[in-house]
Structures are given as structure tokens and as C-alpha cells.
Amino acid sequence: MFGSILISICTLMHIYVFWRLASVPVVSRHVPLYLLIAAGVLLWAIFFIGRVFGHSGMGALAVTAEFLGMLWMGTLFLLFIPLLVADIITLFGLLLPRIAPSIRGWAFVAGAVLSIIALVQGLRPPVMQNYEVRLAALPPAMDKTVVVAMSDLHLGSLIGKRWLAARVARVNGERPDLVVFLGDLFEGHGESEDDLISVLRGLSAPLGVWAVTGNHEYHGGSNRSMRLFDEAGIQLLRNRWVQLRPGFILAGVDDLTAKYRAGRSGDFISQALSGRPPGATILLSHTPWETEQAARAGAGLMLSGHTHGGQIWPFGYLARRAYPLLAGRYEVEGMPVIVSRGTGTWGPRMRLWRPAEILRITLRTG
């Protein structure tokens, strides 16, 4: 269903972008209409093949097809937005009819420049984002505990072993006390999972490496994803808590969006936090929802991801309607909530004004 909707939306954007491009003076004078139509059909085919064949295939050819298809999808979006803004400003040419076609031309150039910037930013390594959080119930012996969190790596065809090895080395270099993954670790297709697992096993921390599920962990069957976590030496928190040290509790819930899509009942937050001993509690939840409930249940800190911070501007404005806590640090009824922009990318290897990040959180006693 999602794939069909995505292909339909991108097809409509193709038609619109090339329709408006044909009206740009320099294009209409120098590019025959049949060549413009052929270019539109070719680029649509690249997107379609990348989405269908590249997404489900294996090997270098499938990876190349998916990379090019997703790259064009991101570029198409960034061309569509400036062209639409130009049309709204000129009322689709009814206002300023003489210069409206030229305005559309400059809008197309702006979209192309934004696409180049987005590709460069998307391929750059994630930044290390530092936070300091005071937890009133944190034992004095745990003061200055360092937690490193990664979210939305989407390991698979477009993000593979080489990229992951660099992230593992960076995290280990921070000498964290605790490493956590906030969901969407695996994309569910692409590079050999055995190769990825062997790299993930290189992560180490005195308090362990822990994770919660994201929505992508349910793509292709949840049992398979859970097996991958186990083989990688990553301990899953599925609606439960664990006491890592006396007075220091880590809890985690299954992805809340997957819960609602599957029609699963149950109060995951309460289930994950109930019956725990006194102390400071960090709650891991892939999706930054039900934060008020977590605060009222006594969680001292909540870590989330899923939103990618919008990934490609201005998509974040739309994403904020579903996820008011989009990226960064928030306070919800006295509980800090930190939402990661994501360590990897979904779809195109592109980011615009929303750099990828790894969270480094220093815990301090209150």
C-alpha cells in the first residue's frame, strides 16, 4: 500500500515538474518537446526500477538502481517545491504573465542547487550531538555516566558495512558506559546481514548494548529482525525494564506506530515501567509519542527517533503535524525528551538542513 501511494505521488510530481519545465523560456526555445517527454519518462523509469527492483533485488546492480531511483525521488521533491511556490506567487501565470515563465526557470535552478546540497549533506558522516541531563534519582556513583544513542541507521542496500564500521569506531572512541539503539536498525533488504552483524558485534560498553524495535523491524517479519539483534549481541527491551546498576534502570517499548498499525492492544508504556525498583529510569521508545504518560509514570529521561528531523526540508513542517516533538531536546512535565534526527537516512541519501547525528548524553546526579 505504501509503495503504491509513493509511486502514485511521485508520478504526479513528474507530470507537474516537466509540465512547468516546458514553459521555461530557455527550455522551450532550445529543447524539443519530444526530448523533454523522453527525459521525463526515463527519469520516471529510473525511479520506478529503483523502488521496485532495487528495493527487492540483491547485488551491485540492485544497489545502483535503488541509489539512483531514490536520489531522483529526493531531487524531484526539491524541484517540485520551488516550482509550486513560484506558481502560487504568480497564480500559475495569471499574475505577472510576462516574467512568470522566467520565475519558474529560477525556481528550477533553486531546486537543483538544493538537491546538490542535500546530497552532500546526506553523504556526510553524522555529527556527535552532546547533551547533559540531570536525573534526580541517579545514584552518586553513576554521576557522569555516558550514554551513546543511535537511531534510524537503516542498514541495508544503501548503508552498508563500510559506513557502519566507521560509526562503530566513532562510538567506541567515545568510551561510553552504555550504548542504545532507538529502532530502525535494519532496513530489511540489501547487503548481507552476516557482514553487518559482524561489525555490530564490535560495539562494547560496560553496561551493555541495548535496543528497542522500530517500525522497520516489522518489515519482512518481526521474528527475523529479532534474530538479527540476538546474533549481533544487542539485547532487546520489549515492553520491559532491566536494572543495570542499583538505582539505574533502562526500559524500552516496542514501536508505537507499529502497534497502532497492527491494531495491537495494551499499554506498552505502563507495561515497560511497572514494577521497577526505585531509581533513575531511562525509557527508550522509537516513536516520540505518549511522552506525558511516560513522565507521569516516573521516567526520568526518554530517548526517541523515527522522525529523522524531517530529513529533507521543508518536509519537517508536514512531519511535525504527526510528531510535535520532531528533533532535539524537550521538557514534558519535567521529564527531558531527546528526539534524534537519525544516524542514517531513509530513502534517498539526502538531508537538507537536518544533519545526521549520534547522541552523546552525560548523566549527572540531580
CA gap 169, 12 in Å, rounded? 43
Query: In the chain, what are the domain boundaries?
Result: 2-123, 127-365
Query: For the domain 127-365, what is the CATH superfamily, name and number?
Result: Metallo-dependent phosphatases (3.60.21.10)
User: What are the E-state strand segments in the chain?
Assistant: 127-135, 145-150, 178-181, 209-211, 235-236, 240-245, 248-253, 280-285, 301-304, 328-332, 335-339, 357-365
* Residue % of the chain over a pLDDT of 70: 94
User: What local confidence, expressed as pLDDT, does residue 265 receive?
Assistant: 67
Q: What does the block give as the cell for 120?
A: 552532500
Residue 189's pLDDT band, with cuts at 50, 70 and 90, is low
Q: In what order do the strands lie in the sheet with 240-245?
A: 240-245, 248-253, 280-285, 301-304, 335-339, 328-332
What band does 190 get if pLDDT is binned at 50, 70 and 90?
low
Confidence (pTM): 0.94
Q: Is the pLDDT of residue 55 over 90?
A: no
Over residues 129-167, the pLDDT tens digits come to: 999 999 999 999 999 999 999 999 999 879 999 999 999
Higher model confidence: residue 143 or residue 264?
143
What is the rounded CA–CA span in Å between residue 129 and residue 148?
10
Task: Identify the residue whose cell numbers are 522522525.
Answer: 307
Could you tell me the pLDDT band of residue 222, with boundaries at 50, 70 and 90? Answer: low
